[in-house]
């Protein structure tokens, strides 16, 4: 399996630049260790020999935790993060490390250290970000499971853009910690999570079970069961939350997903959902508070034009909070989470857009201030959700043919987002298995 995975990496990666660091000899040695465990009668784990990838913003012993930065090219991790440790304990073999934008901040993936990752479906489209390398590699058949991180859509949007599935777990479900860096500020602690991407829902389920194992290094980790109590098969559909200008293609995908659930006995009610715009504003404020206290100095030293433009535009859209702004945001968070918890108690699953638009043209966000504002508005459902720490699942549905082209493979992917209550990833996966029952076939990367 490892040799096949390495061969696929060699064949597909040059066109997309998704895996930016891998060591074949170590991969084969790890695979042989799994084989030896099996031969010795040991339990090799539920992911025995499964090739996985790790995002470059996460500690893997002996590798640089670059976060897409030239500044961190020599930041070599001394120990595995809980994410890597748990995957290894489950028997997975780490195939390589995947690309991210500088500072892991964007829905596009390009940086000054590792270069530009391309969408294997169409290089004119973004592969998403910040887990763009994870999603692109997976779509191209490199590995079976990819690790990603999500503070504002960084698992869910790349999955959408590359036509795979991506799960943002509940805060505290998956233990995470980077010993190579300082403690994260409170905004990131409350909103950033690690989660899996995969080409099938059963693979996501296996990956989540492995990632959710206990690790005492993460004080936010919660020993919640992976299966909750029975819930009514009732879903809410919200096509235009708070006036979002949802594109016709996206609306068609949402309604098709709702119909699939109805045909399998679910009740689906079209209704407004709780607020996302104010949570999105507070999320951005908490997010930027960290950068304004320290990362901006690193931003100046890194001097990558994409990152500089994106940070400047975000700061322009998010004024510095007053003396009590951060405290007020944390106080308001409880109220929003209460609203969402009550809503999701009535409707155990919510169907929302992943984005208001089909996958963006690549690098759209740095074309102009207006283009950046267009991107931010379309991503409302990505940004608002993390404030409450809720789980979200980006489910790939179908490709949208490009203008004048009939074959789905020639178009951009499409998908929907599912949301459930805290620690109810099981409900998301159950609904997703109805919407996307078949595995996704890898694509051959398209080049310009």
Which amino acids are annotated catalytic? 55, 130, 154
> Cα separation of 23 and 8, whole Å?
14
283 neighbors 384 (Cβ within 8 angstroms):
yes
Contact 147, 208 (CB under 8 A): no
Residue with tokens 């195939």: 95
DSSP-assigned beta bridge partners for residue 393:
167, 418
């Amino acid at each position: 399996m490892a040799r096949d995975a390495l061969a696929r990496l060699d064949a597909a990666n040059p066109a997309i630049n998704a895996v930016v660091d891998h060591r074949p000899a170590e991969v084969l040695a790890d695979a042989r260790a799994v084989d030896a465990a099996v031969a010795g009668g040991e339990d090799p784990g539920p992911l025995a020999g499964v090739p996985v990838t790790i995002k470059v913003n996460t500690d893997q012993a002996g590798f640089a935790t670059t976060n897409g930065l030239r500044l961190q090219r020599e930041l070599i991790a001394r120990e595995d993060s809980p994410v890597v440790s748990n995957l290894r304990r489950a028997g997975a073999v780490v195939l390589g490390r995947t690309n991210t934008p500088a500072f892991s901040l964007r829905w596009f993936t390009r940086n000054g250290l590792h270069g530009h990752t391309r969408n294997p479906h169409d290089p004119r489209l973004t592969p998403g970000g910040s887990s763009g390398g994870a999603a692109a590699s997976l779509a191209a058949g490199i590995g079976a499971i990819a690790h990603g991180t999500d503070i504002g859509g960084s698992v869910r949007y790349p999955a959408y853009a590359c036509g795979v599935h991506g799960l943002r777990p509940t805060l505290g479900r998956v233990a995470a910690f980077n010993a190579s860096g300082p403690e994260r500020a409170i905004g990131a602690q409350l909103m950033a999570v690690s989660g899996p991407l995969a080409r099938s829902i059963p693979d996501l389920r296996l990956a989540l079970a492995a990632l959710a194992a206990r690790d005492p290094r993460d004080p936010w980790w919660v020993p919640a069961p992976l299966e909750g109590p029975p819930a009514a098969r009732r879903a809410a559909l919200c096509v235009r939350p708070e006036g979002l200008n949802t594109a016709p293609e996206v609306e068609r995908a949402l309604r098709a997903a709702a119909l699939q659930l109805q045909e399998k006995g679910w009740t689906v009610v079209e209704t407004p959902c709780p607020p996302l715009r104010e949570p999105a504003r507070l999320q951005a404020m908490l997010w930027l508070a960290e950068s304004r206290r320290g990362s901006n100095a690193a931003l100046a030293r890194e001097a990558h034009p994409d990152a500089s433009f994106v940070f400047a535009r975000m700061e322009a859209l998010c004024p510095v909070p007053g003396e009590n702004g951060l405290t007020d945001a944390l106080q308001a968070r409880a109220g929003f989470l209460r609203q969402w918890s009550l809503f999701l108690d009535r409707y155990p699953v919510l169907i929302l857009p992943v984005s208001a638009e089909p996958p963006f043209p690549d690098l759209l966000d740095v074309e102009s201030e207006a283009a950046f504002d267009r991107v931010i508005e379309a991503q409302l459902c990505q940004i608002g959700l993390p404030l409450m720490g809720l789980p979200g699942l980006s489910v790939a549905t179908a490709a949208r043919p490009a203008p004048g082209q009939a074959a789905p493979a020639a178009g951009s992917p499409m998908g929907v987002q599912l949301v459930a209550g805290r620690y109810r990833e099981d409900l998301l996966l159950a609904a997703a298995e109805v919407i996307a029952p078949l595995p996704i076939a890898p694509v051959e990367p398209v080049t310009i």
